[in-house]
Amino acid sequence: MADHLGSFELMVLLAVLRLDEDKTYGVPIANEIEQATGRSVALASVYAVLERLEDRGWVSSRVGESTAQRGGRAKRHFHVTAKGIRRVREAKGALVKMWMGIRELQGGTT
Amino acid sequence: MKPTDPPALATKLLESLVPLRTSEALLGDLIEQYQSGRSRSWYWRQVILALVISAGREARTRKLQAIRALIVGYLCGASLCYFSTSAAGKFLGPYTVVGAYLLFLPLAFISAAISGWILSRTHSRPMVLVFAIFGVIASLVALAVYALFPGDRMPLPMPVVTWAVTLAINFIIAPLGVLAGGLWGSCEADDASASPRLGAP
Protein backbone atom coordinates (compact mmCIF):
# COMPACT_ATOMS: atom_id res chain seq x y z
CA MET A 1 0.00 0.00 0.00
CA ALA A 2 2.71 2.46 -0.97
CA ASP A 3 0.13 4.97 -2.26
CA HIS A 4 -2.09 4.91 0.81
CA LEU A 5 -2.33 8.21 2.68
CA GLY A 6 -3.04 7.70 6.39
CA SER A 7 -4.76 10.31 8.56
CA PHE A 8 -1.58 11.31 10.40
CA GLU A 9 0.29 11.56 7.10
CA LEU A 10 -2.47 13.82 5.77
CA MET A 11 -2.20 16.01 8.88
CA VAL A 12 1.55 16.32 8.47
CA LEU A 13 1.15 17.30 4.81
CA LEU A 14 -1.51 19.89 5.69
CA ALA A 15 0.67 21.27 8.51
CA VAL A 16 3.61 21.71 6.11
CA LEU A 17 1.32 23.44 3.62
CA ARG A 18 -0.11 25.78 6.29
CA LEU A 19 3.24 26.94 7.67
CA ASP A 20 5.42 29.74 6.36
CA GLU A 21 8.47 28.53 4.43
CA ASP A 22 10.93 29.33 7.24
CA LYS A 23 8.91 27.28 9.73
CA THR A 24 8.49 24.02 7.88
CA TYR A 25 10.69 21.92 10.17
CA GLY A 26 9.96 19.41 12.94
CA VAL A 27 9.00 21.62 15.91
CA PRO A 28 6.49 23.96 14.19
CA ILE A 29 4.97 21.03 12.27
CA ALA A 30 4.42 19.11 15.53
CA ASN A 31 3.04 22.26 17.22
CA GLU A 32 0.62 22.89 14.34
CA ILE A 33 -0.77 19.34 14.64
CA GLU A 34 -0.94 19.61 18.44
CA GLN A 35 -2.93 22.85 18.21
CA ALA A 36 -5.34 21.36 15.69
CA THR A 37 -5.91 18.04 17.45
CA GLY A 38 -5.25 18.90 21.09
CA ARG A 39 -3.03 15.83 21.42
CA SER A 40 0.68 15.77 22.04
CA VAL A 41 2.76 14.68 19.05
CA ALA A 42 6.19 13.06 19.30
CA LEU A 43 8.81 14.72 17.13
CA ALA A 44 10.18 11.31 16.16
CA SER A 45 6.83 10.24 14.72
CA VAL A 46 6.63 13.48 12.71
CA TYR A 47 10.08 12.77 11.23
CA ALA A 48 9.18 9.12 10.58
CA VAL A 49 6.13 10.25 8.57
CA LEU A 50 8.03 13.00 6.74
CA GLU A 51 10.73 10.56 5.67
CA ARG A 52 8.11 8.08 4.46
CA LEU A 53 6.42 10.87 2.49
CA GLU A 54 9.78 11.94 1.09
CA ASP A 55 10.50 8.37 -0.04
CA ARG A 56 7.19 8.44 -1.93
CA GLY A 57 8.08 11.79 -3.51
CA TRP A 58 5.25 13.71 -1.80
CA VAL A 59 7.59 16.03 0.11
CA SER A 60 11.15 17.18 -0.46
CA SER A 61 13.60 18.50 2.11
CA ARG A 62 16.56 20.83 2.30
CA VAL A 63 19.08 21.40 5.06
CA GLY A 64 18.60 24.79 6.70
CA GLU A 65 20.52 26.93 9.12
CA SER A 66 22.01 25.74 12.40
CA THR A 67 21.90 27.85 15.55
CA ALA A 68 23.56 27.68 18.97
CA GLN A 69 20.10 27.11 20.49
CA ARG A 70 19.96 23.86 18.50
CA GLY A 71 23.39 22.68 19.65
CA GLY A 72 24.81 23.69 16.26
CA ARG A 73 22.60 21.22 14.42
CA ALA A 74 20.97 22.17 11.16
CA LYS A 75 17.23 22.39 10.64
CA ARG A 76 15.65 20.27 7.95
CA HIS A 77 12.95 22.15 6.06
CA PHE A 78 10.23 20.26 4.23
CA HIS A 79 8.23 21.26 1.18
CA VAL A 80 5.18 19.54 -0.31
CA THR A 81 5.84 18.61 -3.94
CA ALA A 82 3.31 18.90 -6.80
CA LYS A 83 2.78 15.14 -6.49
CA GLY A 84 2.07 15.58 -2.78
CA ILE A 85 -0.41 18.41 -3.39
CA ARG A 86 -2.21 16.24 -5.97
CA ARG A 87 -2.41 13.44 -3.39
CA VAL A 88 -3.82 15.80 -0.73
CA ARG A 89 -6.47 17.03 -3.21
CA GLU A 90 -7.44 13.43 -4.00
CA ALA A 91 -7.73 12.66 -0.28
CA LYS A 92 -9.85 15.76 0.27
CA GLY A 93 -12.11 14.82 -2.66
CA ALA A 94 -12.61 11.32 -1.28
CA LEU A 95 -13.34 12.62 2.23
CA VAL A 96 -15.82 15.25 0.99
CA LYS A 97 -17.63 12.60 -1.08
CA MET A 98 -17.89 10.40 1.99
CA TRP A 99 -19.02 13.34 4.13
CA MET A 100 -21.86 14.47 1.86
CA GLY A 101 -25.35 13.24 2.55
CA ILE A 102 -24.76 12.12 6.12
CA ARG A 103 -27.57 13.69 8.10
CA GLU A 104 -25.89 13.20 11.49
CA LEU A 105 -22.87 15.28 10.42
CA GLN A 106 -24.81 18.25 9.03
CA GLY A 107 -25.35 21.51 10.88
CA GLY A 108 -23.06 21.06 13.89
CA THR A 109 -19.48 22.10 14.47
CA THR A 110 -18.40 19.08 16.54
CA MET B 1 27.88 20.16 32.84
CA LYS B 2 25.60 23.22 32.65
CA PRO B 3 22.05 22.64 33.92
CA THR B 4 20.76 23.70 30.51
CA ASP B 5 22.58 20.90 28.72
CA PRO B 6 20.29 18.07 27.59
CA PRO B 7 21.00 14.54 28.93
CA ALA B 8 24.30 13.55 27.31
CA LEU B 9 23.64 9.79 27.25
CA ALA B 10 20.27 10.23 25.53
CA THR B 11 21.88 12.51 22.94
CA LYS B 12 24.70 10.03 22.37
CA LEU B 13 22.28 7.11 21.95
CA LEU B 14 20.26 8.98 19.35
CA GLU B 15 23.35 10.26 17.58
CA SER B 16 25.00 6.83 17.45
CA LEU B 17 22.15 4.44 16.79
CA VAL B 18 19.71 6.34 14.55
CA PRO B 19 20.55 7.06 10.88
CA LEU B 20 22.15 10.45 10.32
CA ARG B 21 19.31 11.44 7.97
CA THR B 22 16.96 11.53 10.97
CA SER B 23 19.20 12.10 13.95
CA GLU B 24 20.79 15.42 12.96
CA ALA B 25 17.58 17.39 12.47
CA LEU B 26 15.67 15.56 15.21
CA LEU B 27 18.41 16.21 17.77
CA GLY B 28 18.45 19.88 16.79
CA ASP B 29 14.70 20.06 17.34
CA LEU B 30 14.91 18.22 20.67
CA ILE B 31 17.69 20.51 21.91
CA GLU B 32 15.73 23.58 20.75
CA GLN B 33 12.68 22.39 22.70
CA TYR B 34 14.79 21.45 25.74
CA GLN B 35 16.39 24.90 25.78
CA SER B 36 12.95 26.50 25.68
CA GLY B 37 11.96 24.79 28.91
CA ARG B 38 11.09 21.12 28.30
CA SER B 39 12.10 18.70 31.08
CA ARG B 40 14.79 16.03 31.09
CA SER B 41 12.13 13.31 31.30
CA TRP B 42 10.44 14.76 28.19
CA TYR B 43 13.79 14.66 26.40
CA TRP B 44 14.40 11.03 27.42
CA ARG B 45 10.85 10.02 26.36
CA GLN B 46 11.35 11.59 22.94
CA VAL B 47 14.71 9.85 22.50
CA ILE B 48 13.37 6.43 23.55
CA LEU B 49 10.43 6.85 21.18
CA ALA B 50 12.80 7.86 18.38
CA LEU B 51 14.95 4.75 19.03
CA VAL B 52 11.90 2.45 18.93
CA ILE B 53 10.46 4.10 15.81
CA SER B 54 13.83 3.97 14.07
CA ALA B 55 14.29 0.27 14.91
CA GLY B 56 10.80 -0.55 13.59
CA ARG B 57 11.41 1.39 10.39
CA GLU B 58 14.79 -0.25 9.79
CA ALA B 59 13.39 -3.72 10.45
CA ARG B 60 10.55 -3.09 7.97
CA THR B 61 12.63 -1.55 5.22
CA ARG B 62 15.72 -3.79 5.49
CA LYS B 63 14.23 -7.14 6.40
CA LEU B 64 17.13 -9.34 5.25
CA GLN B 65 19.73 -7.29 7.09
CA ALA B 66 17.52 -7.29 10.19
CA ILE B 67 17.19 -11.10 10.10
CA ARG B 68 20.94 -11.46 9.63
CA ALA B 69 21.56 -9.07 12.54
CA LEU B 70 19.23 -11.06 14.80
CA ILE B 71 20.97 -14.34 13.90
CA VAL B 72 24.50 -12.92 14.30
CA GLY B 73 23.60 -11.09 17.51
CA TYR B 74 21.90 -14.09 19.07
CA LEU B 75 24.64 -16.53 18.10
CA CYS B 76 27.36 -14.22 19.42
CA GLY B 77 25.59 -13.29 22.64
CA ALA B 78 24.27 -16.75 23.54
CA SER B 79 27.45 -18.64 22.69
CA LEU B 80 29.69 -16.12 24.50
CA CYS B 81 27.46 -16.25 27.56
CA TYR B 82 27.33 -20.07 27.52
CA PHE B 83 31.09 -20.57 27.07
CA SER B 84 32.13 -17.85 29.52
CA THR B 85 29.85 -19.12 32.31
CA SER B 86 30.87 -22.74 31.65
CA ALA B 87 34.55 -21.82 31.72
CA ALA B 88 34.13 -19.71 34.85
CA GLY B 89 32.23 -22.56 36.51
CA LYS B 90 35.03 -25.04 35.77
CA PHE B 91 37.69 -22.58 36.90
CA LEU B 92 35.97 -21.66 40.17
CA GLY B 93 34.71 -25.14 41.07
CA PRO B 94 31.53 -25.74 43.05
CA TYR B 95 29.73 -22.54 44.14
CA THR B 96 26.42 -21.58 45.69
CA VAL B 97 23.31 -20.65 43.71
CA VAL B 98 23.69 -16.97 44.68
CA GLY B 99 27.36 -17.13 43.71
CA ALA B 100 26.36 -18.53 40.33
CA TYR B 101 23.98 -15.63 39.77
CA LEU B 102 26.57 -13.07 40.86
CA LEU B 103 28.92 -14.58 38.31
CA PHE B 104 26.28 -14.96 35.63
CA LEU B 105 24.97 -11.37 35.67
CA PRO B 106 28.23 -9.56 34.73
CA LEU B 107 29.11 -12.28 32.21
CA ALA B 108 25.65 -11.90 30.62
CA PHE B 109 26.22 -8.13 30.40
CA ILE B 110 29.68 -8.53 28.86
CA SER B 111 28.41 -11.12 26.35
CA ALA B 112 25.52 -8.84 25.35
CA ALA B 113 27.91 -5.87 25.05
CA ILE B 114 30.27 -7.85 22.79
CA SER B 115 27.36 -8.94 20.58
CA GLY B 116 26.23 -5.28 20.38
CA TRP B 117 29.75 -4.21 19.48
CA ILE B 118 30.02 -6.89 16.75
CA LEU B 119 26.65 -5.85 15.32
CA SER B 120 27.58 -2.17 15.23
CA ARG B 121 30.79 -2.99 13.37
CA THR B 122 29.27 -5.44 10.87
CA HIS B 123 25.80 -3.98 10.25
CA SER B 124 24.21 -0.56 9.95
CA ARG B 125 23.93 1.05 13.39
CA PRO B 126 20.15 0.86 13.80
CA MET B 127 20.46 -2.94 13.66
CA VAL B 128 21.85 -2.79 17.22
CA LEU B 129 18.52 -1.27 18.22
CA VAL B 130 16.59 -3.85 16.21
CA PHE B 131 18.44 -6.63 18.05
CA ALA B 132 17.99 -5.07 21.53
CA ILE B 133 14.26 -4.41 21.03
CA PHE B 134 13.68 -7.81 19.43
CA GLY B 135 15.37 -9.39 22.47
CA VAL B 136 12.95 -7.63 24.83
CA ILE B 137 9.92 -8.60 22.71
CA ALA B 138 11.12 -12.23 22.46
CA SER B 139 11.60 -12.31 26.24
CA LEU B 140 8.05 -11.02 26.77
CA VAL B 141 6.70 -13.71 24.44
CA ALA B 142 8.80 -16.40 26.17
CA LEU B 143 7.53 -15.21 29.55
CA ALA B 144 3.93 -15.34 28.37
CA VAL B 145 4.43 -18.85 26.89
CA TYR B 146 6.09 -19.98 30.12
CA ALA B 147 3.26 -18.56 32.22
CA LEU B 148 0.62 -20.23 30.05
CA PHE B 149 2.41 -23.55 29.47
CA PRO B 150 4.89 -24.08 32.33
CA GLY B 151 5.86 -27.65 31.33
CA ASP B 152 7.77 -30.11 33.49
CA ARG B 153 11.32 -28.74 33.37
CA MET B 154 10.63 -25.45 35.14
CA PRO B 155 7.43 -25.88 37.10
CA LEU B 156 5.64 -22.85 38.51
CA PRO B 157 6.29 -21.20 40.86
CA MET B 158 9.99 -20.57 40.21
CA PRO B 159 12.09 -19.44 43.19
CA VAL B 160 12.00 -15.65 43.64
CA VAL B 161 15.76 -15.31 43.04
CA THR B 162 15.48 -17.20 39.74
CA TRP B 163 12.59 -14.94 38.66
CA ALA B 164 14.50 -11.81 39.63
CA VAL B 165 17.64 -12.91 37.76
CA THR B 166 15.69 -14.04 34.68
CA LEU B 167 13.78 -10.75 34.49
CA ALA B 168 16.90 -8.69 35.20
CA ILE B 169 18.88 -10.42 32.45
CA ASN B 170 16.14 -10.38 29.81
CA PHE B 171 14.75 -6.92 30.37
CA ILE B 172 17.63 -4.89 31.81
CA ILE B 173 21.09 -6.45 31.56
CA ALA B 174 20.94 -7.89 28.03
CA PRO B 175 19.30 -4.83 26.33
CA LEU B 176 21.59 -2.41 28.19
CA GLY B 177 24.60 -4.57 27.35
CA VAL B 178 23.69 -4.62 23.65
CA LEU B 179 23.17 -0.83 23.61
CA ALA B 180 26.44 -0.25 25.51
CA GLY B 181 28.31 -2.46 23.03
CA GLY B 182 26.59 -0.69 20.14
CA LEU B 183 27.63 2.71 21.48
CA TRP B 184 31.17 1.50 22.02
CA GLY B 185 31.38 0.13 18.46
CA SER B 186 29.89 3.22 16.86
CA CYS B 187 32.22 5.54 18.81
CA GLU B 188 35.21 3.50 17.64
CA ALA B 189 33.94 3.64 14.06
CA ASP B 190 33.49 7.43 14.36
CA ASP B 191 37.03 7.81 15.70
CA ALA B 192 38.41 5.68 12.89
CA SER B 193 36.59 7.66 10.22
CA ALA B 194 37.50 10.99 11.85
CA SER B 195 41.23 10.26 12.17
CA PRO B 196 42.23 10.61 8.48
CA ARG B 197 40.21 13.85 8.27
CA LEU B 198 42.05 15.29 11.24
CA GLY B 199 45.38 14.55 9.67
CA ALA B 200 44.34 15.88 6.28
CA PRO B 201 45.68 19.23 5.22
Kindly tell me if the per-residue pLDDT of A17 is higher than 60. Answer: yes
**Residue A66 to residue B28, Cβ atoms within 8 A:** yes
CATH code for the domain of A70? 1.10.10.10
Report how many domains make up chain A. 1
Of A11-20, B1-10, B20-29, the least confident: B1-10
Please check whether residue A110 lies inside any domain of the structure.
no
Percent of chain B with pLDDT over 70: 84
ipTM for the whole complex: 0.88
First to last CA, chain B: 33
pTM for this entry:
0.82
Backbone angles phi, psi at A102, to 5 degrees: -95, 110
The domain in which residue A36 lies consists of: 7-100
Please check whether residue A41 lies inside any domain of the structure.
yes
Please check whether residue A106 lies inside any domain of the structure.
no
Please check whether residue A39 lies inside any domain of the structure.
yes
Chain B residue numbers touching A63 (CB-CB < 8 A): 25
Q: What is the pLDDT of residues A58-96, one digit of tens each?
A: 999 999 888 888 888 999 999 999 999 999 999 999 999
**Residue A43 to residue B30, Cβ atoms within 8 A:** yes
Where does the pLDDT of residue B94 fall: very low under 50, low under 70, confident under 90, or very high at 90 and above?
low
Please check whether residue A109 lies inside any domain of the structure.
no
Q: What is the pLDDT of residues B47-86, one digit of tens each?
A: 999 999 999 999 998 999 999 999 999 999 989 988 888 8
Chain B residue numbers touching A43 (CB-CB < 8 A): 26, 29-30, 33, 46, 50
Q: Left if phi > 0, otherwise alpha if psi is -120 to 50, otherwise beta: which for A10?
A: alpha
Kindly tell me if the per-residue pLDDT of A37 is higher than 90. Answer: yes
Please check whether residue A34 lies inside any domain of the structure.
yes
**B184 to chain A nearest CA, in Å?**
23
Q: Which of B66, B196, B188, B36 is nearest to B128 (CA)?
A: B66
